[in-house]
């Protein structure tokens, strides 16, 4: 096993207390500790010097001179005429290391310097993964990092050419790994000034040298952090504080219609972008340069890339929102030169942008006062909008607040463009949308909080074949087919702008007209499908697929038996009251051994099942209605099971209702069901071929639960409940 210089601590664990002469072991440990210390010092000096070598080579190639060399206790500080400075180690501590490694540079026939390594007098070029030499400077140039990997008592040198992301062993030309048993110091033996030639000489441990002329300092640099690119608005002036030395004269160059000046006294570089009036004839981007001159006809240049940017701006008075504790949307005007996007910072603040308005949605606060931000981002800048929200209301410790039912919207199906109201049969609810489908028709997409028309759903190869549609807990959309050429197919979609990916396909004509999903079909989920064919006497038969990491397993067929409740679930004629000719099955959660539930026509019961056996039940509606749909949602520490029913007879319209039960525990389930009489709202009509469906969705802040019901041939309705402690 590889260990990076950390083998010493493990030595002491190899032995327990007993009587023996441990002097040899102690000497060995001391030796290893000394070697590790040497190697750590070597690596630090080596990586510092490798960076220094690159600077030296770049100085030679760019006509930059050395202004002075200051010798210290362990190395040298080298100052350049362009204001840069490097520190290099002297390497004397490892000069006598018999098997140390030396990184150096070699001048090749093409006139460029390349990285190389010397081991015991043998020098090899450092090569990249493709076997190419690595130039010290150039488009392919990379400054390597070095380290030692210990295997047993031998250290192997490795190099990284991507700033430490990956490492590879250093080999000599014959393929022999470069090893070490001790430190080799830095790369340089000496750094000195030859006064006769006025040259700085840098001597490597192997005797090779780099020579750079001496000169007085001459530079203009940015003060502090260097600036490579600056974005401007039309007509904007920006100033940059510079630092300079040895400059006698300057010349400033600009792109067309740009203006710039440099003040030698204040060392301020001022740049002004073209005005909007001159935009047509101006360069939108380019380089502004200061060419500067010193003594002995020396010169150099400092350059700044400039461009007309794309900015977003918000008035000062709109930069802070003083929100209320309630959920609310605040409109903030902005101006922009191009595209603007939103970067969410705090989960309780979201936003959309359109037509110069940022619609910022602040979730209801159920805790202490809080402050958050959200960003409007353009190409050249970003604007941070601050939201302050006061103390919020408290939440109930469990479940929803009785009596909090509130109608959000009631959308007549006849008003939905492109939908056959009488044939509507399924809904799927995502975070933002509710999708309504009718068999073999194009599903319609509505706004989930207003019911307003948004568009249609492209079902791709499942178009005209869809039997059912639903959504999972992650907001993905799932579509199933019934008897699609003798097959059932199930597709999944990550949003309304995608098309289904078929990920389950099975030869059958008996399943696919109803489907329920919990979890995330792109991760872990449970998919259940009820037997679809009308059968005399009905059935509880259903299929289950378990999806793991987005991959569905084999199908599992099951029925739900009466168990110990057989007497209660059998009528006087011996009919099994569990059986349905149409229905739905859904699991409560993804936990092992979690209960699952069934409802259908005409048992019209919530069935709590475990392991294929009924453990409890609750009657929901009478035989005039069909409670053929189910959904489960966790809300404020409670699990809720929902069904909705319609009547097929005009004289029983008032029986249509939503039924809900707390299924957190079986005892809670046995306590009864809650009925919301949608028939009293006038939401339903006698069904002429559609199918009732329902869905539950919890708001992002966990304060509200939305209850959706589809009454075919009538209305799509939405009711909201909350868990506020008021």
d(CA 262, CA 251): 8
Question: Quick one: pLDDT at residue 26?
Answer: 45
Tokens of 476: 């993905």
- Check whether residue 176 and residue 46 sit in a common domain: yes
Q: Is 50 helix (H, G, I), strand (E, B) or coil?
A: helix
Burial of 520 (0-12, 13-18, 19+ CB in 10 A): middle
**What is the count of structural domains for the chain?**
4
* Nearest alpha-carbon partner for 532 in 515, 517, 505, 510: 510
Task: Give the CATH number, domain containing residue 278.
Answer: 2.60.40.10
Note the pLDDT of residue 298: 83
Confidence at residue 348, expressed as pLDDT on a 0 to 100 scale: 93
Domain contains 368 = yes
> Residues 243, 353: one domain?
no
For position 32, what pLDDT does the model report?
Answer: 44
- ∠ Cα 423 607 627 (to 5°): 20
Q: What pLDDT sits at residue 107? A: 73
SS3 24: helix
**Are residues 274 and 318 part of one domain?**
no
As a three-state string, the secondary structure of 263-328 is: ECCCCEEEEECCCHHHHHHCCCEEEEEEEEECHHHCEEEEEEEEEECCCEECCHHHCEEECCCCCE
Which residue among 265, 282, 308 closes a domain? 308
Q: Are residues 648 and 509 in the same domain?
A: yes
Same domain, 226 and 195: no
8 Å CB contact between 621 and 648? no
116: number of Cβ within 10 Å: 20
Q: Are 341 and 273 within one domain?
A: no
Residue 3 lies in a domain: no
Residue after which a domain boundary falls, among 254, 274, 308: 308
Q: Are 660 and 668 in contact (CB under 8 A)?
A: no
Pull the structure tokens for residue 327.
Answer: 């959920």
Cβ pair 511, 488 in contact under 8 A: yes
In a domain, 273, yes or no: yes
In-domain check, residue 419:
yes
Tell whether 565 and 689 lie within a shared domain: yes
pLDDT value of residue 350: 94
The CATH number assigned to the domain holding 627 equals: 2.120.10.30
Burial string for 485-501 (b: 16+ CB within 10 Å, else e) reads eebbbbbbbeebeeebe
Order of all β-strands in the sheet with 349-354: 328-333, 357-362, 349-354
Tell me the CA end-to-end span of the chain in Å, nearest whole number: 63
- Are the C-beta atoms of 258 and 306 separated by less than 8 Å? yes
- 89, with CB counted inside 10 A (0-12, 13-18, 19+), is buried
Residues 359, 426: one domain? no
* Residue 447 sits in the same domain as residue 589: yes
DSSP string, 611-675: TTEEEEEEE-S-TTEE----EEEEETTEEEEEEEEEESSGGGGGG-EEEEEE-SSHHHHHT--EE
Strands 382-389 and 320-322: parallel
Domain-located, residue 399: no
Is residue 128 domain-resident?
A: yes
Domain that holds residue 27: 8-213
pLDDT at 284: 95
Domain boundary among 213, 234, 255: 213
Distance CA 663, CA 668 (A): 6
Q: Tell me: do 29 and 176 sit in the same domain.
A: yes
Written as one string, the DSSP assignment of 117-172 is EEETTEEEE-B-TTS-B-BSSSTT----EEEEEEETTEEEEEEESSTTSS-EE-B-
- Asked, for residue 657, whether it belongs to a domain, the answer is yes
Percent of the chain at pLDDT above 90?
Answer: 54
Query: pLDDT averaged over consecutive 10-residue blocks of the chain (726 residues)?
Result: 32 34 46 50 63 73 82 83 80 48 71 73 71 62 67 74 78 69 61 87 80 86 93 96 94 96 96 95 96 87 95 96 94 94 94 95 91 96 97 92 95 91 91 92 95 95 90 96 94 95 95 95 97 76 96 95 94 89 93 94 91 95 80 97 82 80 97 90 71 92 93 91 92
Say if pTM beats, i.e. exceeds, 0.85.
Answer: no
| 176, 95: one domain | yes
134 in any annotated domain: yes
Query: Does residue 636 share a domain with residue 494?
Result: yes
3-class SS of residue 219: strand
């Amino acid at each position: 096993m590889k260990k990076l210089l950390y083998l010493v601590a493990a030595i002491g664990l190899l032995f327990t207390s007993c009587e023996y002469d441990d002097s040899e072991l102690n000497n060995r440990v001391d030796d290893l500790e000394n070697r590790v210390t040497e190697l750590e010092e070597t690596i630090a000096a080596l990586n510092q010097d490798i960076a220094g070598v690159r600077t030296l080579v770049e100085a030679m190639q760019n006509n930059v001179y050395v202004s002075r060399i200051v010798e210290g206790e362990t190395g040298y500080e080298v100052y350049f005429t362009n204001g840069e400075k490097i520190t290099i180690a002297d390497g004397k501590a490892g000069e006598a290391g018999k098997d140390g490694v030396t990184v150096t540079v070699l001048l090749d026939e093409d006139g460029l310097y390349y990285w190389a390594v010397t081991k015991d007098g043998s020098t090899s070029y450092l090569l990249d993964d493709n076997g190419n030499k690595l130039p010290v400077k150039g488009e392919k140039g990379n400054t390597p990092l070095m380290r030692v990997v210990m295997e047993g008592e031998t250290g192997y040198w490795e190099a990284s050419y991507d700033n430490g992301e990956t490492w590879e062993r250093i080999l000599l030309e014959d393929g022999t790994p470069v090893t070490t048993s001790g430190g080799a110091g830095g790369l340089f033996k000496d750094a000195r000034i030859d006064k006769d030639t006025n040259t700085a000489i840098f001597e490597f441990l192997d005797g090779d040298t780099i020579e750079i002329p001496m000169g007085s300092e001459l530079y203009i640099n940015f003060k502090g952090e260097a600036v490579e690119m600056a974005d401007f608005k039309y007509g904007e002036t920006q100033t940059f504080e510079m630092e300079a030395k040895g400059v006698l004269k300057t010349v400033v160059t600009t792109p067309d219609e740009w203006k710039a000046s440099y003040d030698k006294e204040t060392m301020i570089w001022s740049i002004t972008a073209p005005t909007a009036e001159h935009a047509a004839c101006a360069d939108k981007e380019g380089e502004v340069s200061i060419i500067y001159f010193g003594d002995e006809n020396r010169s150099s240049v400092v350059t700044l890339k400039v461009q007309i940017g794309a900015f977003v701006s918000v008035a000062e008075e709109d930069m802070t929102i003083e929100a209320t504790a309630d959920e609310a949307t605040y409109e903030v005007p902005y101006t922009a030169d191009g595209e603007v996007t939103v970067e969410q910072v705090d989960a309780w603040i979201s936003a959309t942008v359109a037509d110069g308005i940022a619609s910022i949605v602040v979730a209801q606060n159920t805790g202490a006062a809080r402050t958050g931000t959200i960003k409007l981002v353009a190409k050249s800048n970003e604007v941070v909008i601050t939201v302050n929200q006061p103390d919020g209301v408290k939440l109930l410790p469990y479940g929803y607040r009785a009596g909090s039912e509130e109608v959000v919207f009631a959308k007549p199906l006849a008003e939905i463009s492109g939908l056959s109201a009488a044939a509507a049969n399924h809904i799927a609810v995502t975070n933002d949308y509710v999708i309504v489908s009718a068999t073999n028709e194009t599903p319609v997409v509505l706004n989930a909080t207003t019911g307003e028309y948004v568009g249609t759903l492209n079902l791709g190869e499942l178009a005209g074949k869809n039997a059912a549609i639903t959504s999972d807990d992650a907001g993905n959309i799932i579509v199933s087919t019934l008897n699609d050429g003798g097959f059932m197919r199930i597709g999944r979609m990550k949003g309304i702008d995608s098309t289904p990916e078929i990920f389950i396909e099975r030869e059958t004509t008996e399943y696919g007209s109803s489907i329920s999903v919990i979890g995330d079909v792109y991760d872990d989920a449970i998919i259940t499908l009820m037997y679809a064919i009308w059968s005399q006497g009905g059935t509880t038969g259903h299929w289950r697929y378990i999806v793991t990491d987005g991959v569905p397993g084999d199908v599992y067929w099951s029925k739900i038996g009466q168990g110990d409740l057989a007497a209660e679930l059998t009528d006087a004629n011996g009919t099994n009251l569990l059986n349905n000719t149409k229905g739905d099955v859904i699991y409560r959660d993804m936990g092992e051994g979690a209960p699952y539930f069934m409802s259908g026509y005409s048992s019209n019961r919530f069935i709590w099942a475990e392991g294929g056996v009924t453990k409890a039940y609750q009657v929901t509606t009478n035989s005039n209605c069909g409670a053929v749909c189910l959904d489960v949602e966790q809300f404020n520490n409670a699990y809720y099971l929902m069904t909705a029913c319609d009547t097929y007879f005009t004289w029983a319209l008032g029986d249509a209702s939503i039924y809900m039960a707390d299924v957190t525990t079986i005892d809670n389930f046995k306590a009864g069901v809650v009925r919301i009489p949608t028939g009293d709202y006038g939401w339903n009509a006698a069904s002429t071929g559609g199918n009732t469906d329902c869905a539950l969705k919890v708001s992002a802040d966990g304060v509200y639960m939305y209850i959706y019901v589809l009454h075919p041939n009538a209305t799509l309705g939405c009711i909201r409940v909350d868990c506020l402690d008021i």
